[in-house]
Each structure stands twice: as structure tokens, then as C-alpha cells.
Structure 1
Amino acid sequence: MEFTMGGQLEVRMTAADVGKRVSVRRAVDAPGEGAKFSDTVGVLTSWDAGVLSVTTRRGESVRIAESSLLAGKVVPPAPARRRGPAASFGELVLVAARAWQPVESESLGEWRLRASSGFTRRANSVLPLGDPGLPLGEALGRVRRWYGERGLPAYVQTATGAEGTQELLCSSLEDHGWRREVTADLRIAALAPVGDLDVDTAAVRVSRTADEAWLSRYQRFETPGPHVLKVLGSGPSVWFASVPGDDPAGTPAAIGRCVVDGRWAGFMAVEVGPEYRRRGLATAVMAALARTALDEGASAAWLQVETDNEGAGALYERMGFATHHSYHHFRPA
């Protein structure tokens, strides 16, 4: 990270640069160890009363005292990815939303309020696609009442880390007392290499419906009511995969779900029973679903993985998936 001009560190940004991507160096206290500094890259989301706020790619809000600034400048957007399909945030956010369609939805300006009796935050959160048509505080009050009437916690889903994402909204939510509760990455890859994985898929069964056996492996709900089946079955073209296990009750060893939407194939609900892990079953499920999606004309793949799920993250990285952006669910503190 280089800030020098003629050998001198400079602050070459102002409060007028709020909303732009910046690179900042600040002094930090380190008693007895000499002068120390820290670097931050992200979107400048506020500069007020002598304090700057920078939201990083992962959605972390870093507050910086103006008096501690050593250098700072506006920098270009993050470099475009060098591998995998080209994709914009605007395209991906809609593709992902169509893969988890809610039971109930209502518009608030350009925001979508989504509810599905609490099954998955992706179908029980606000999807902000623009202006809510109200001052933010008033809009958030409407959101809390709408979810409260349904006995649900209020969540707003936001994104950071790509061109056109919502760092300013994240900062504003924090200013209104909302806090990040969950962060995940949306990763993308070329689809053909996933389908070409050298793995035996003969045992993988692919069908259009999630039967009782499939649901018995998918432990993301207490009772698989009609709202669960409606959300799981939503999407332009939905496929379910399972690998039979040796459980007398018929619970599969592994399962997965894929939603084909134009050129995109979204992978989700890939789960392997603890007693069947390290046998390549997750890879087999992914490959079988990818081959099905390729047959439908898809060419690109996406999936979502929580940032603290290191095992799944490593598996998907080996398959060629790279992070496009991060997304977050904010909830009132």
C-alpha cells in the first residue's frame, strides 16, 4: 500500500469522498514498541465530528479518529476477478433471491419484505434493492412492525465487497441501532469444471422433489411444514440430489439442492451425515447436480457459505469457487 508523494505521507481525501472506496493508514497506540500503524481498505461511509467510518469488504465497520490519520486516498474499485464468469452484484442478488422465494412478500418502495414462517433468513428478511420511499428510520419502523405482526424477528439483508454493493446502507443500519448477526460469502465459478470432477456419481439420485427421506437429512427446521416445502421447491428449475445411506429409517447419506436460472446454477443444502464424511459424497452430489444443470444450458455456478464454515469454504475453493461479495443479515440490537 503506497501513499507517498515526494517521500511524504499525505491525506488526499475529504468528507466529499463519502461513498467511494478508500485506502487509509492510521497510527495506533503500541506502548513501549515504538510507532505503529494500521491499514484499512473499504468504502468511506461517513466522516463526521472528527471520526471516519470505513466499511470493509467483509462488512466490518472501522471507526478512525481523524487525528490518527497518517495517509489516505481514494482508490479504484476492487480489481475484476481473473477467473470464472463475469457477473454484477445486481444480477447475482436477484438470481439468489429467486432461489429462495418466500411464502409471503410485500413491497416497501424498492425494498422487498419477505416472510416464510421463519424458515431460512433468506426467505425471512428484507431485500433492499433501492430506495424504500421513506426516510430510513421510518422505513425500519415499518419493517419491525411488519415482521412483528407475523411473530418474526426483523432482518435486513445487505451486501458488501463488490461494485454496487451496500456499504452505505450497512453503516446507516448501524447508526440506527441494527447489528450484523450473520455474514456469508456468495461465491461463483464456471460450471463445467464442477460437472467434470473426477468422482463417481452412480449412487447419486436426482429428482424434482424433496421427499421425506431427503427432508430427514436436511436438519434446518423443527417440522417440515408446507412453508418449508414451498420455499425449497421455489425457483425457475429446481433439482434435489441424494445418496442412499445404510440407515434402516432411509435417511440419505448426503443430499443437495440446485436451482437452474438461465445461465446460473445455484447450489445449496449440500449436507453429509457425520458418519459418512470424508468419502467424497459432497463432491459427488455437486458433480451430479452440475451435470444436470449443464444439460439445461447453464454455464455458471454460485453458492453461499457462511464465513466461519472453514471446511465447506475449503471444499468449494478446490472446486474453483471464488468470493464475489459478502452478504449480511442485520437485526435490531
Structure 2
Amino acid sequence: MSPSVLEPIADAAWPARERERLGGWRLNATDGFSLRINACWPLGEADREPEAAIDAVEAFYGARGLPVRFKLTDGATSPADLADRLARRGYALHGETLLMTGPVVGAGDAEVVISSEPDPAFEALLVASAKGNAADANERLQALGRIPAPARFARLTLEGRTAALGACAVDGQAVGIFGMRTDPDFRRRGLARRVLDALLAEAASLGARTAYLQVEDVNAPAVALYSARGFSTAYRYRYWSRLARD
């Protein structure tokens, strides 16, 4: 799938609490932690000239006390010189991310529990992975709760503990993979792959044919896992941010 097709699907799959539009520019705002739901996605032509549109985005995030952030996607950013415009305003580039796609082929796993909503054990590991940042964990839990149906949540239990988890959102023939986590005590045991396989098997039963996921390009272990599983980079995106002003 091209970025012009897949990006709106990915946006809908991980919904922000607040969502507004400036023509083809999508403004997402939550609590400022998960970048995708706290950024402007300029996926089409804005409803005003570019500098005025940037002003409006800055006002939107400024009114909420959030950093002003743009998510610029290769092959799907309008206008094409938006990065240059942001650089002139003092924005900083960060967070280069791969959008990887792969086949929806997996296998069920007796130790992976699949449910239509996150249970307390799922939530506990997700909160623990936030390393004490309760606000970050809460934002992500609420985002998981907003994933449109059919959503699925996978939890792998070993030795009486939740060892790994993940979630997916199915939209027609596309399925997005989100929230992959492994307890540090259980890493390097292939658990993430087992969770991924279980989610893909479930998604296949729901009609999905193409899977996608986002991973930072510096996360070499995750990139290697997904590459070994048949995923490849479809395109990249990067964030341009400016800190919130007093």
C-alpha cells in the first residue's frame, strides 16, 4: 500500500483524544507522550496557504500546552517544502521511523490469550513498561481503549507472569500492530515473535491480508525481528518538533 492509502488507516487505528482538520492536515492531540497522537499529519493540501496553516497548528497545540509537532511522511507530505519551512521556524528533526509491511500469516499459541479488550494483567505490564511515568502509561492505555473494532489484545503468560503482549487493529484488509512489550526478565526468548504470530493469525481470521507496524530505525533488535518475520520497509516518516511555550 502507498503512504497516501496507508497513513489514513494508521491514523484511524491509533486514535488521538482530540482530532481536528485543516483541510488535508490532521491535528491530533492527547497528553503529549505518544508521538503519533500528539502531532499534525500534513497528508494533503491544507485549507489555507502553508505559513498560515503552520500558524494555526502552532495555535492549536499552544492552546493545549503541548509541544508543536509535525509528522512528515515520505511521499505523503503537503506541501513538499514543509520541512524547509519548519526548519526556518526553528523546529528540530527527530524520531526517524520505519513503516514496515508484511504478510498476515501466523499461528495460534496456547500460551497467548487473545481478547477484544485489554485485561488487568495486560494493563499491568504496559504500565510497568512506562518506567514510572504514570501519565505516559495512562495515555497509552486510553489510546488502546479507543482502537476501533475489531481490535485484539494478546497476552503471553509464562511461569505465572505476563511475559509479553501486543495489540492489533483491523481495518478491512489491513491490520496494524501496536503496543508490543516484553517483560525485561523474559527477553531474548522469542516471545515477541510468538505474540506477533498469534495476532497475525487472529487478524487473518478477521479478513486482514496486509500487516503494518511502526518501529524507530534505531531499534535494531525490533527491525531484525520484523524483517525475519517477512516485513520490509514501505516508507519512512520523521517528526519535526518545537517545545511548548510559556
Structure 1 length-normalised TM: 0.66
Amino acid at match of 1:155: R
Equivalent in 85, 90, 101 of residue 172 of structure 1: 85
Quote how far apart the aligned CAs of 1:329 are: 1.3
> 1:217, 1:329 → 2: CA distance?
27
CA distance in 1, matches of 2:4, 2:165: 30
> For the pair shown, which has the larger CA radius of gyration, 1 or 2?
1
Aligned partner of residue 187 in structure 1, secondary structure: strand
Which amino acid in structure 1 is aligned with residue 36 of structure 2?
R
User: Greater RCO between the two (CA within 8 Å, min separation 6)?
Assistant: 2
* Structure 1, 109-118 or 260-269: larger mean CA deviation: 109-118
Structure 2 matches for 1:222-301, cutoff 5 A?
222-223=134-135, 224-225=137-138, 227-233=139-145, 234-246=147-159, 252-301=162-211
Greater mean alpha carbon deviation, residues 235-244 or residues 136-145: 136-145
Q: Following superposition of structure 1 onto structure 2, how do residues 200-211 of structure 1 map, counting pairs within 5 Å?
A: 201-211=109-119
Query: How far apart, in 2, do the equivalents of 1:119 and 1:235 lie?
Result: 21
CA contact (8 A) 1:89 1:165 kept: no
Distance 1:185 1:285 in 2: 20
Q: Write the distance in 2 (CA, Å) between the matches of 1:268 and 1:90.
A: 20
Which residue in 1 is equivalent to 2:230?
Answer: 320
Structure 1 portions without partners, runs of 5+: 1-86
Question: 1:165, 1:146 → 2: CA distance?
Answer: 19
- Aligned pair 1:181/2:110, yes or no? no
Gaps of 5+ in 2: none
Q: Name the Cα RMSD after superposition.
A: 2.0
| % identity of equivalent residues | 33
Indicate the SS of the match to 1:258: strand
Residue 97 of structure 1 is matched in structure 2 by 11
2:122 corresponding residue in structure 1: 214
Give the C-alpha shift of residue 136 in structure 1.
Answer: 2.3
Contact (CA 8 Å) 2:111, 2:158: kept in 1 or not?
A: no
User: Are the aligned partners of 1:245 and 1:253 in contact in 2 as well (CA < 8 Å)?
Assistant: yes
Give the residue type in structure 2 aligned to 1:169: L
Answer yes or no: is 1:140 the counterpart of 2:54: yes
Q: Deviations over 1:217-254 (max 9, x none)?
A: 223451454x544311223421111112446xx5x110
Name the CA distance, whole Å, in 2 between partners of 1:207 and 1:288: 11
Whole-angstrom distance in 1 between the partners of 2:219 and 2:33: 20
- State whether residues 98 and 236 of structure 1, in contact with CA within 8 Å, keep that contact through their aligned partners in structure 2: no
DSSP 3-state at the match of 1:155: strand
Distance in 1 separating the partners of 2:81 and 2:120: 43
- The answer as to 2:67 corresponding to 1:153 is yes
Displacement of 1:169 in angstroms is 2.3
Per-residue CA deviation, residues 184-204 of structure 1 (Å, 9 max, x unaligned), is 000001212xx15xxx72100
Distance between the aligned counterparts of 1:150 and 1:262, measured in 2?
34
